[in-house]
């Protein structure tokens, strides 16, 4: 799908049938948060299926996969390689929320707290498109630095101090959320 000439999806396909889903960024972020908090695979499954607006597809495994694919949305191959290569968590919707809200206001003129609707995939594109000097991207940048490779001791200590201050320990990143969705499907 190319968002430059195709409309953003309002439904997902399961078994050759289109099923409408909630597409506002708030609905997806709420789902991600709830899935992270849910303990039982069955409760995660129930939460994931709540993204469907009307009816839930009879193929539950396909339904969960379709939602997972919708949430993954439009990702560049470069971003996928970054995520696969580092294994280090660099982003959290929850802990980075103030910076995301501020950056959307500053760079796009969008007040995320007041806007009536913003499609999830458009939200993702705008988030990825933030400039490198934005608060969100700056935090991601500092978290992704391997301080052990910095030769200058003072610079290494400075970076480590910043990393401790913005640490995401005890958080689950986007990839882990996909794993949670898979666990809901398979009962892991």
Q: What is the pLDDT of residue 80?
A: 47
Taking 70 as the threshold, does the pLDDT of residue 175 lie above it?
no
Taking 60 as the threshold, does the pLDDT of residue 176 lie above it?
no
Alpha helices in the chain (DSSP H): 25-37, 41-49, 60-72, 77-86, 97-103, 120-128, 135-144, 153-165, 174-186
Average pLDDT, integer, range 24-41: 88
96: Cα separation from own chain's centroid: 11
Average pLDDT, integer, range 70-96: 68
Q: Phi, psi at residue 12, to the nearest 5°?
A: -125, 155
Q: What is the pLDDT of residue 177?
A: 53
CB 184 within 8 A of CB 45: yes
Q: What is the pTM of this model?
A: 0.80
Q: What is the pLDDT of residue 38?
A: 78
Average pLDDT, integer, range 164-176: 67
CB 141 within 8 A of CB 82: no
Taking 60 as the threshold, does the pLDDT of residue 144 lie above it?
yes
Taking 90 as the threshold, does the pLDDT of residue 128 lie above it?
yes
Average pLDDT of the chain? 84
85-94, 150-159, 176-185, range with the lowest pLDDT: 176-185
Q: What is the pLDDT of residue 93?
A: 92
Q: What is the pLDDT of residue 42?
A: 74
Average pLDDT, integer, range 66-83: 66
Pairing of strands 11-14, 17-20: antiparallel
């Amino acid at each position: 799908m190319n968002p430059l000439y195709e409309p953003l999806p309002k439904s997902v396909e399961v078994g050759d049938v289109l099923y409408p889903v909630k597409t506002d960024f708030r609905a997806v972020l709420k789902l991600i948060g709830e899935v992270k908090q849910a303990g039982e695979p069955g409760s995660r499954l129930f939460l994931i299926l709540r993204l469907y607006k009307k009816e839930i597809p009879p193929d539950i495994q396909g339904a969960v996969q379709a939602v997972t694919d919708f949430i993954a949305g439009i990702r560049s191959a470069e971003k996928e390689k970054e995520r696969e290569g580092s294994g280090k968590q660099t982003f959290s919707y929850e802990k980075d929320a103030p910076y995301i809200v501020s950056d959307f206001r500053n760079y796009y003129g969008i007040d995320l707290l007041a806007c009536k609707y913003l499609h999830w995939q458009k939200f993702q594109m705008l988030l990825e498109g933030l400039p490198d000097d934005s608060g969100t991207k700056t935090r991601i940048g500092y978290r992704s630095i391997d301080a052990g490779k910095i030769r200058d001791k003072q610079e290494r200590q400075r970076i480590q101090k910043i990393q401790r201050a913005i640490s995401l320990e005890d958080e689950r990143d986007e990839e882990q959320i996909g794993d949670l969705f898979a666990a809901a499907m398979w009962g892991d």
